[in-house]
Amino acid sequence: MDRHAEAFLEMLAAERGASRNTLAAYSADLADCGAFLSARGIALSSADAPALRAYLESLADAGLSARTAARRLSALRQLHLFLYRERIRPDDPTAELDRPKLGRRLPRVLAQAEVAALIDAAAAAPAPAGLRDAALVELLYGSGLRASEVIALPRAAFRQGAEALLVRGKGGKERLVPLGPRARAAIAAMLEAETAEEKARRGQAPPRWLFPARGASGHLTRQTLGLIVKRAAAAAGIDPARVSPHVLRHAFATHLLEGGADLRSLQAMLGHADVATTEIYTHVSAARLAATVAAHHPLARESHAKPPRSRPRG
């Protein structure tokens, strides 16, 4: 790899604390562009705008998505901004490049009957795991929490009879999320079912987390939560590939909008900084309405669509 690109990656690790996965992604994207330019006798750190534009066009020719091209352009912009600030080159050629247009990717949504089947399947697991699994699914769907927010809920966040939870979300921002009667009951049942052995093992002090585990963090991991949801989906006869904790968050938002909730309230409950992020769910609802019309309206089906008869003359 270009030595200047290596210096950029070292800066990301040392100054920005980039994770191993982030560094690997940047390295792969820059290496791909570097290989394309090297075959044309151009160094990555000295490429001009036409050369970089040719690279992005090659991605489209290879059938890669606009989202992939946008990600690689982002890596190139970060690199060249670094080169410019470090005075390794006098300009930033990526300033002349247009970002690929991305279509709005609509989130996958479960039907209300599917969510009900999922909750029933989670609760049907042998106790005490079934009680915990039911509480998890009820929270994901009933409160619209992110997976990271659910697993990191402190035990103190739950108060018997409370109708809301105080959640710490992205950026450490706190917000109140609804806690419906079903979720309250599921959590209460889970806590009441703790065995005497568990209570004796921990002594007088209750666990810090609402969903404790024996790992280093002391609480469930996102991976374990994902497996719990997929296991419940399989038991409910739903393709596990269609279900994840985030899909249940999408279902919460979409079903609320379909029930008449306003966009600003939904934004607050989901913890979105920008209402534009929440607006994706209006597109989901519109898409589902269009699909319903296409499936059930007689004039929408081609087999029923007949040209109007012409009126006889005379």
Q: Which residue is associated with the tokens 């990600």?
A: 71
Selecting among 175, 182, 231, 246, the annotated active-site residue is 246
146 is catalytic: yes
Token reading at 113: 């009957």
- Is the preceding peptide bond at 128 cis, omega within 30 degrees of 0? yes
**DSSP sequence for 203-254:** TTSPPSBSSB-SSTTSB--HHHHHHHHHHHHHHTT--GGG--HHHHHHHHHH
Asked if 155 is an active-site residue, the reply is no
Closest to 235 (Cα-Cα) out of 108, 134, 146: 134
Amino acid found at 111: A
Coil, helix or strand at residue 183? helix
Instruction: Supply 188's token pair.
Output: 């209460």
Q: Which of 37, 53, 48, 43 is nearest to 6 (CA)?
A: 43
Which among 110, 89, 198, 218 is positioned nearest to 155, based on CA atoms?
Answer: 218
Respond yes or no: is residue 141 known to be catalytic: no
Residue tagged active-site, from 4, 72, 219, 249: 249
Distance of CA 40 to the CA centre of its chain: 38
The amino acid occupying position 193 is A
Tokens 């930033």 belong to: 92
Are 165 and 184 a contacting pair, CB within 8 Å? no
281 is catalytic: yes
- Indicate which residue of 40, 99, 170, 242 is catalytic: 170
Which residues contact residue 233 at a Cβ distance below 8 angstroms, ignoring those fewer than 6 apart? 118, 121, 239, 240, 242, 243
Of the candidates 4, 80, 146, 219, the residue annotated as catalytic is 146
What's the rounded Cα separation, in Å, for the pair 127 and 122?
Answer: 11
Active site residue 249: yes
3 is catalytic: no
Q: Which residue numbers are catalytic? A: 146, 170, 246, 249, 272, 281
